[in-house]
Amino acid sequence: MGFKFLNDISISDIAFEADSGTLEGLFKSAADALVNSMIRNYKDIKQVKTVEFTLRESNLESLFVAFLEKLIFYKDVEGLVFNGFKLVIKETDGEWVVSCKAKGEKLNAKKHELIVDVKAVTMHLLEVEKKGNGWHAQAVLDI
Amino acid sequence: MEFKKPTFTRVSDTIWEIPKTFKDGMRVPARIYATEKLFKEMDLQVFDQISNVATLPGIQKYAFALGDAHSGYGSPIGGVAAFDINKEGVISPGIVGFDINCSMRLIVTNLTLKNVRPHIKTLVDRLFKEIPAGVGSKSKTKFSEAEFKKLADGGAEWAVKAGYGWKEDLGRTELGGIADWADSSKISKTAISRGLSQMGTLGSGNHYLEIQYIKPDELHDGGLAKKWGLFSNQIVIMWHCGSRGAGHQIASDYIQTFLKESNRKYGIKIPDKELASAPFNSKEGQEYYKAMGCGVNISFANKQIILQKIREVFSEVFNKSPESLGMHQLFDIAHNRASLEKHEVDGEMKELLVHRKGSTGSYPPGRTEIPKLYRKDGSPVIIGGSMETGSYLLVGSEGASQTFDSTAHGSGRVMSRKKAREKFNGKALVQKMLANGIYVRSATWAGLAEESGEAYKSIEDVVDSVEQLNLSRRVCRFTPIGNIK
């Protein structure tokens, strides 16, 4: 459970896989992978700011990408990075919806050990699927 | 993850072919243009990805991977694919690349190594302060949404009018510094929001700005170098960046649109979702083309703002105007773009959309894509090396017609970012580079370790490769003395 970076896919970018017993846990692990790609000590991000958003997509893969891209948006536009996520994911009438409450703080180069900027989530070798009793995802992040 | 190894046909010493039978749906063979050494260094995913590109409708001749090719997403970095726009040819954001119009820009000075070496620390420190780099970097130059739309429609032309740079810069930039087909009504509010405070920033990863000089024995074509204003021990400034978050958002938005609508609507089968495509002459294809034009312009404007900062810093440190320091732009050339060009295919002149992802236009003398200033000589080609080694200025050669006038773009990675971080130490690397005469400032130690020279192919091998293939030839080599990233 959690996430793991993959070394042998897209060597100029960052690939990861994530697993969880629940879909919400999977999205949370993927978000952790995204933030950890940029900040080595991401667990030290203080949860002092909260943002809430809801996203709707026609399929689960698109929802997964849209969720991670929303976090990139907050990093670029508001300078916010997160490590606390409260998520509810539902499928109703052929539409996938994620409601998210994300907690974090402003990027701070003095405090956060910065690595490299993530600018997009690619569709390359993207997997978001049920596996056994849980959920599995694989994604390549554009650097 | 394992990828199947194709059975190659060796066409010549420097050309390898993957037959159409390698994968279902390949419309043309794929070809690798590289020396044997570089070919053997390529990861198997390169061959898988370039074969996927060969399945797209309207592709002409071959799907190409050049000497610096390494695995990317959708298409390999170092890939070229041209599509006949009058015969079902497609446009695909995944083979333009996310960082639309990511490019190399080069400016010269009349300063020499002797003039600059004593000031290198001050120059690099000042540039590092004025030109933000790294994760989440924000510019001091902020734009309103209305201004940003003008920037996205007007590119470097808009930037020069707004006071960023000189009019002559436009004649020394591809397309004259403006994608005149751009339409900012085709880009999302999200893309605009991401761009508002990022203009004038470098970004991160392999983006950098370097102060370099020309060693006396590295003026390979002395005549052309002199004509282009280059001389021994001269100081030049080179940087690598693109359209920042806005360009990436444009790519993301249209990949999703193409996946949800175009692929089904136009019956395009793709082996990798990243290759989402639409016919160039469809509504969706044209909308992305106009949005991509905005990405091109955002990149041009970003580099114009950076150019202005560089001129200001040098002027301040040397207490002379940028004009009296001879700070002329030499060229700005992209390696992530799709360009409408005319090329001969099997004896017929065709209108093609040439996608270059991590590959550079290398136009032989006379091509109309070359600005008038350089048209008789061939296009200047700027090849960025790793921060520890050096970079090259090349010129387009006649043989580039083999690859739709395309050449390599840089060293190309051979090691993953994570492996590089495990193997190298950023702080130790800075000391090593200092000992080698290169002063570095970076927003991140870990990010710096990822960019170690050993994580890349040899720039000499890459340039040897494109020379052997007659895609481009050497004009001169640049050695770094200062770097910000």
> B193-224 burial, b for 16+ CB within 10 Å, e for fewer?
bbbbbbbbbbbbbbbbbbbbbbeeebbbbeeb
Of all residues in chain B, the percent with pLDDT exceeding 70 is: 100
Which of A7, A38, A39 faces B419 most closely, judged by CB atoms? A7
pLDDT in tens, B170-187: 999 999 999 999 999 999
Domain spanning B104-143+167-177+200-242+302-331+381-484, CATH architecture: Alpha-Beta Complex (3.90)
pLDDT of residue B120: 98
In this structure, the number of other CB atoms found within 10 A of the CB of residue B278 comes to 26
Write out chain A residues lying below 8 Å of B198, CB-based: 76
pLDDT of residue B335: 97
Please determine, for residue B52, whether its predicted confidence score (pLDDT) is greater than 90. Answer: yes
Contact A123 B274 (CB under 8 A): yes
Q: How far is A86 from chain B, CA to nearest CA, in Å?
A: 23
Contact A119 B99 (CB under 8 A): yes
**Domain spans, chain B:** 104-143+167-177+200-242+302-331+381-484
pLDDT of residue B263: 76
Contact A10 B72 (CB under 8 A): yes
Of all residues in chain B, the percent with pLDDT exceeding 90 is: 87
Looking at the DSSP assignment, which residues form a beta bridge with residue B227? Answer: none
pLDDT in tens, B186-231: 999 999 999 999 999 999 888 999 999 999 999 999 999 999 999 9
Contact A79 B136 (CB under 8 A): yes
CB proximity A10 to B under 8 Å: yes
Write out chain B residues lying below 8 Å of A121, CB-based: 252
Dihedral class, residue B211 (left if φ above 0, else alpha if ψ from -120 to 50, else beta): beta
Count Cα neighbours of B80 within 13 Å in the Cβ-side half-sphere: 29
CATH label of the domain that carries residue A36: 3.55.10.10
> For chain A, how many structural domains are there in total?
1
pLDDT tens for each residue of chain A, 143 residues long:
799 999 877 777 899 999 999 999 999 999 999 999 999 999 999 999 999 999 999 999 999 999 999 999 999 999 999 999 999 999 988 899 999 999 999 999 889 999 989 999 999 999 999 999 999 999 999 98
Between helix B283-318 and helix B145-161 the angle, nearest 10°, is: 60
Q: What integer is the mean pLDDT of B329-335?
A: 98
Provide the mean pLDDT of chain A.
94
Please determine, for residue B476, whether its predicted confidence score (pLDDT) is greater than 90. Answer: yes
* Cα–Cα nearest to B179, from B157, B163, B146: B157
CB proximity A91 to B under 8 Å: no
Which of A65, A75, A117 faces B205 most closely, judged by CB atoms? A117
pLDDT of residue A9: 78
The chain B residue lying nearest A126, using CA atoms, is B273
Contact A7 B136 (CB under 8 A): no
- Catalytic residue check, B409: yes
Q: Are B180 and B116 in contact (CB under 8 A)?
A: no
Interface ipTM: 0.90
pLDDT in tens, B72-107: 889 999 999 999 999 999 999 999 999 999 999 999
Q: Find the helix or strand (DSSP H, E) in which B82 lies.
A: strand B75-84
pLDDT in tens, B391-408: 999 999 999 999 999 999
Q: What is the dihedral of CA B49, B251, B414, B400, to 10 degrees?
A: 70
In whole angstroms, how far apart are CA B361 and each of B124, B180, B354, B364, B408? Answer: 30, 19, 10, 10, 9
pLDDT of residue A27: 98
The chain B residue lying nearest A111, using CA atoms, is B444
Q: How far is B88 from chain A, CA to nearest CA, in Å?
A: 24
Q: What integer is the mean pLDDT of B373-385?
A: 97
Contact B45 A69 (CB under 8 A): no
How far apart, in whole angstroms, are the C-alpha atoms of residue B30 and residue B256? 27
DSSP string, A70-132: HHHHHHHHT-EEEEEEEEEEEEETTEEEEEEEEEEEE--TTTS-B-----EE--TT-EEEEET
Host domain of residue A87: 2-142
Please determine, for residue B324, whether its predicted confidence score (pLDDT) is greater than 80. Answer: yes
Contact residues for B49 (Cβ-Cβ < 8 A; gap 6+): B71, B72, B73, B74, B75, B76, B79, B272
